[in-house]
Structure 1
């Protein structure tokens, strides 16, 4: 280990990092209401002597952008500060027990954000100003909804590389699944609930459509790499009646090499055959959002330096494809090379049991700091 890297990792302060993470988790910041957590982070960073730029996304919502070193940053650390909406506000706050930090956003991705902030503070403490790498820190809003924070940043800046701290269990994801959102609507004929034979039940039709589509080999969870998840199901609410409308939303996560537009046609073709088995079916299929996946391979700067970093930290370097949707798709589509790497795992993200191992957060801070040092030099 070089003296410079040893000094940098020594500057990573677990106590300060724990305080940052727990205080971030105390602040409720669902998509669209991120200002309180951004004010907290802005105060923390300006108090440490950094010039923090607000990048307006819309009124009352903004990204935070900080840079160091000379010239345009070669690498940005990117974290999203928003979370999904809380199920129970009484159970919102952080809880720490046996090395686990629990709470909304703990792994997705306030753990990653806190680690990035700590890496930033450690770099500034460990290195003289003239040796600081040319890197940036970007804390964005809106990832859990439509990615409007990252989209705003990309209108003005397209760095060569970014590291996004989504929960990967510290696996390095140079590949990323694509995403397709499908909407199904069935229509029927309303009748009194005691006389269903006089109507046409749109919910029954939808259930049969979903069973028909789900049985296709393309969605076989044992054999297919496509991730098929029914996200929402709702019907017209009219009291004691046979419902005449039903709507379903389906999330489809596609392997990096699958074309979402071609897959869209496949799904539409499968759905079109449902009418052969469902009498009187009135079905409309729409696709509101599509994002292509990618695979960068490992012939790039970040991949080359990661092996050495993990070896010195005595961590196994695992390579994977990120299975969810993230702002990584937006960055890649804009010509930026994204590495997805962060503490925590998708298994608990968006659940009431969301959690992150604190030692993973500390390790992430050291990895981010070392990547900045080596890739931003």
Structure 2
């Protein structure tokens, strides 16, 4: 890539403009299914900078924003999801800028990455005349926190060779990605008055015994297995002062890149089958709604080689990692698109009351994204 152009583009990255954009994005509440306000804001922001923007319908009042930079078919897309989890357990989810950190719901997952991508496009457009702009696009999708319906809609029509997805990786490039399996368990019992438990069958007690039995399997034993096994939800029937007759649990399983979700599902079913011999009168139902395979891209690829040049120039630490969570990267890979997961912020603070992202990483991300876009023209 022409070094002179790249240095001009990096100088055009405006830190204060980027900071304002991120703070305003975090202040817009945009849980999955209610993304229209933030898409309208971003559409206006990009339209004001002269970009041609196409709405790609996903559902009623829900759409992706597709923004080409050059006139050629994009060979690389910067991909960000604008939705967040719901704020049902948070008292304050707006933005707070303090001590170099931008706090607030979605600041790490992944409005920091989205803001950096938008700023990268603004800098590229300011420096490069239209006939010199690389064949890249910006894709701002909805629905990632639920079922990835925004990216799925995009993939019905487009299959670029590469995408860069700005999930929070602490700016560590991830060419490998964990797989994912969602498992649902339901136990049923017999309802009685809570003062007479011996006359009923407690579905919660049965569920707790099932979960303990699962946890003792070496495949799911925390600390000794390479599978990240997390009980996400546990609920029971809400009738008052009774022995509960129903209990439901949802379990997230994040599998290493080489793991096979079908094999893990079979192991869960086998283990649950043995629970019936240990738990009296067990009535257990299993459900597997969602699975995604992981992947491991070869590190000898054009983006990895470009990053080897870019990172030292920006004073960033190099290396590669595997993205441990689920993301739209799994969908893109399954569709034959090569995804790089790379963005500001830390996964461990995402979805927490203390969610935040270091602004220095957001600024660095904008420059890295711009440089990767320039690589697409080589």
What is the CA distance between 1:46 and its match in structure 2?
0.5
Task: Please give the alpha-carbon distance, in whole angstroms, between the structure 2 residues aligned to 1:264 and 1:323.
Answer: 19
Task: Please give the alpha-carbon distance, in whole angstroms, between the structure 2 residues aligned to 1:89 and 1:186.
Answer: 30
Match of 1:35 in 2: 36
What is the CA distance between 1:213 and its match in structure 2?
0.3
Task: Please give the alpha-carbon distance, in whole angstroms, between the structure 2 residues aligned to 1:183 and 1:220.
Answer: 18
Match of 1:86 in 2: 87
TM-score norm. by structure 2 comes to: 0.98
What is the CA distance between 1:249 and its match in structure 2?
0.4
SS for the counterpart of 1:208 is: helix
Match of 1:360 in 2: 361
RMSD over aligned Cα atoms: 1.1
Unaligned runs of 5+ in 1: none
Match of 2:215 in 1: 214
User: Which deviations, in whole Å up to 9, do the C-alpha atoms of 1:255-289 show, x marking residues without a partner?
Assistant: 11011011100111111111222111111111111
User: Which deviations, in whole Å up to 9, do the C-alpha atoms of 1:1-30 show, x marking residues without a partner?
Assistant: 821111111011101000100111111000
Match of 2:160 in 1: 159
SS for the counterpart of 1:315 is: coil
Does residue 1:74 correspond to 2:75, yes or no? yes
Match of 1:56 in 2: 57
Unaligned runs of 5+ in 2: none
What is the CA distance between 1:113 and its match in structure 2?
0.2
Task: Please give the alpha-carbon distance, in whole angstroms, between the structure 2 residues aligned to 1:243 and 1:318.
Answer: 51
SS for the counterpart of 1:219 is: coil
Equivalent pairs counted in the alignment come to: 377
CA contact (8 A) 1:75 1:376 kept: no
SS for the counterpart of 1:218 is: coil
Match of 2:269 in 1: 268
TM-score norm. by structure 1 comes to: 0.98
Match of 2:338 in 1: 337
User: Which deviations, in whole Å up to 9, do the C-alpha atoms of 1:80-109 show, x marking residues without a partner?
Assistant: 000000135651211111101100000000
Match of 1:188 in 2: 189
Does residue 1:142 correspond to 2:150, yes or no? no
User: Which deviations, in whole Å up to 9, do the C-alpha atoms of 1:58-91 show, x marking residues without a partner?
Assistant: 1100000010223210100000000000135651
Task: Please give the alpha-carbon distance, in whole angstroms, between the structure 1 residues aligned to 2:336 and 2:199.
Answer: 57
SS for the counterpart of 2:58 is: strand
Task: Please give the alpha-carbon distance, in whole angstroms, between the structure 2 residues aligned to 1:92 and 1:66.
Answer: 28
CA contact (8 A) 1:69 1:130 kept: yes
